[in-house]
Amino acid sequence: MNQPSAPARRRLLAVAGSAVLAGLAAPGHAADEALPLEAARDALARRSAIVIDIREPEEHARGVAPGMRLLPMSQIGQRLAEIPRDPSQPVLLVCNTQNRSRATARALRERGWTNVHYVAGGMSEWARRGWPLVAPR
């Protein structure tokens, strides 16, 4: 069986992501709550927040930040229970650039998560800065 090309895979992921968000999103507020990349790195180091990398497995294969949880956006709809709802526990979402994480954070807030934020710049900026990356587990 032929594997789809990289552009075709990206289109499929975009469609899957839209479907996931359509299932999560409800009409309501749309406040953006971005956190700087440095804040996410500090939260990981201090273990003061749960940082979730929502990129897809083929993106994780390029390297992940130590301590981040991996939860592909395409699986979020089936794995919502893995995302803490406790308002005292910050949840930070990161993707490659911040587009998917911003949309996912918004959708989760619209579904009742109150302490969820997206990380500005995403993993592409993390890598550009030369910050540590490890193989996914």
Q: What is the pLDDT of residue 137?
A: 86
- Tell me what the mean pLDDT of segment 76-81 comes to: 96
Separation CA 14–CA 8 (nearest Å): 10
Q: What is the pLDDT of residue 69?
A: 97
Separation CA 43–CA 57 (nearest Å): 23
- Evaluate whether 53 touches 70 at the Cβ level (below 8 Å): yes
- Tell me what the mean pLDDT of segment 129-133 comes to: 97
State how far the alpha carbon of 3 is from the alpha carbons of 7, 14, 43, 101, in Å: 11, 17, 38, 26
Model confidence, pTM: 0.78
> At residue 130, does pLDDT exceed 90?
yes
- Tell me what the mean pLDDT of segment 26-49 comes to: 78
The residue annotated as part of the active site, out of 95, 103, 107, 123, is: 95
Q: What is the pLDDT of residue 6?
A: 53
Is it true that domain 6-128 has CATH number 3.40.250.10? yes
Whether 95 is catalytic is yes
Higher pLDDT, 9 or 118: 118
Q: What is the pLDDT of residue 21?
A: 39
Separation CA 16–CA 90 (nearest Å): 26
> At residue 18, does pLDDT exceed 70?
no
Chain-wide mean pLDDT for the chain? 83
Separation CA 39–CA 9 (nearest Å): 31
